[in-house]
Structures are given as C-alpha cells and as structure tokens.
Amino acid sequence: MKTFASNILRVALIHSLLLFSIIGAAQGRVEAETSTLSTKNTAVTTLIIPTLQTLTGTVNKTIASSQPYSSTGFVGTVIFSVSPALPTGLTIDSKGVVSGTPTLAQVAKSYTVTATGATSGKAQATVNITIAAAPIDTSSLNCPSAPFLTAAGEGRRAYMRLNCYSCHGDKGKGGMGPNISGAESGDVQEAVTSGAEGGMPAFKNYLCPNDISNLSAYLKVIGSTTAPTFKQWWVQNPTQ
C-alpha cells in the first residue's frame, strides 16, 4: 500500500515539474516576443538644431550668417537644401549656413531648411529672412530751396526720390509693400520717419523740408487722373 501511494506521489510530482517547465517556456517566449516587438517599435529620432533662426539684412550689405546646424540620428553625410529659393545674393552651404549679400528688399518670409542623410534620416528647420531697402545716398537729395510745384507735385518728387515706388508701386497700390494710396498724414509721418514692419527702413535722415506733408498730399491723389506722373524728379519743373 505504501509503495502504491509513493508511486502516485512521484507521478504527481513529475506532472507538477512538467507543468512548471511548460509554463516557464511559455513565459520565456512571451518575454522574447515582447522584447523583439519593443525593439521593432523603437524609432530613431532625427533632428537638426537650431529649429528656428531669424536673419535680417540690408540690400547690398553682407548679411550676418545663420548658425551651422548640429544633427542627430542621421546615417551618412547630411545634405542640406532650402525651399523656396533664397533671396537673390544669398546661398546655403554644406553645413546649412545661409550667407551672402542680398540685392533686393523683401518683407519677412519663412524658408524651410531640409537635412537629409545620405543613407537615412530627414529633418527640417525654419529660417525667417527680412531684407531692408538700401538707405538713400544723401548726396542725391537735391532738396529744392523753394517749392516749384504744387504740394502733390513735390510729394511725387519725394515719392520718387525716396524710392517709395520700388516697394509700393508707381500708383501706390502695393507690390512688395502694402497699398498706401489715400494714406492718412499721421500714418505717413510715422512710417516714413520711424520705419514699419516688414522691412521698411526709417527715412528721417533723408527728408527734405515739407516732405511729409507733400507726400501726404500726393498719396491723396496718387493713381487718379489729376495725379502728377513725371519720372525726372530731380528737374526743377519736371514735365509729365
């Protein structure tokens, strides 16, 4: 009887050990599969720093270069490109540095710099660029000793002399700059003497007497049939 009981006990023990072995093997497979899944789901992060830069410059003056980028997570040589095309005179080099001498004014504009690894990896950053118009040469002011034209006529003279038309158009309807036809005298004074957002420089050092009031008078009629349209502003009595 004791032998029979011992045999039953041994069989039960063997079954228990076998069951624990099966459970242990199953747990091992689950852990291995979980580890493999975790490895597969681990993404490699690609990044270029700084992610945002702001550059400001002036026409015909070398701009302060942007910072070179530090890159993380790329495989192979990192190649930089930019979109849309940079302002004329500016370039981007192999390190993503934007530099050069701009030749045209422009209001603030955003550019996307893209870094691509030769084997793998891609990331983007933003560069905001504003180019101010070149200051007027004071030797070319030719301020008249007395007004030769009406207020609107002298305003047209100032409009041409200060190069306002290059940004606002010959009729003041806007282009690179906003529409300023019919602008109030207070707004004209503030913009011309202090500059404005978007790259317009201050012209307070380049103004002849009465330029502000004359410009205001001209902008009230600019684009109309009564507005003066002469081009040779340096002539005392320019013709249409």
CATH of the domain at 181: 1.10.760.10
Beta bridge partners of residue 113, listed in sequence order: 82, 125
Looking at the fold, whether 198 and 149 belong to one and the same domain comes out as yes
Query: Do residues 123 and 144 share a domain?
Result: no
Question: According to the model, what pLDDT value does residue 38 have?
Answer: 41
Query: Domain range holding 95?
Result: 47-132
Q: How much is the pLDDT for 16?
A: 56
Q: What is the pLDDT of residue 238?
A: 82
User: Coil, helix or strand for 57?
Assistant: strand
Query: Does residue 39 have a pLDDT over 50?
Result: no
Specify the higher pLDDT residue, 23 or 103: 103
pLDDT tens digits, 53-68: 999 998 889 999 999 9
10 assigned to some structural domain: yes
| 126 and 65 belong to one structural domain | yes
Q: Note whether 46 and 20 are within 8 A (CB).
A: no
In terms of domains, do 90 and 107 share one?
yes
Q: What is the pLDDT of residue 24?
A: 54
- Let me know whether 35 and 84 are in one domain: no
Give domain status of residue 231, yes or no: no
Tell me, what CATH number does 90's domain have?
Answer: 2.60.40.10
The predicted pLDDT at position 179 comes to 93
The tens digit of pLDDT for each residue in 178-228 reads 999 999 988 898 888 888 877 788 888 888 888 999 999 999 999 999 999
Same domain, 33 and 18: yes
Domains identified in the chain, total number = 3
Q: What is the pTM of this model?
A: 0.48
Whether 57 and 34 map to the same domain: the answer is: no
Looking at the fold, whether 81 and 113 belong to one and the same domain comes out as yes
> What is the mean pLDDT of the segment spanning 123-135?
89
Whether residue 233 is contained in a domain is answered as no
| Burial (0-12, 13-18, 19+ Cβ within 10 Å), 211 | buried
pLDDT higher than 80, residue 78 = yes
Bridge pairing between strands 106-117 and 52-58:
unpaired
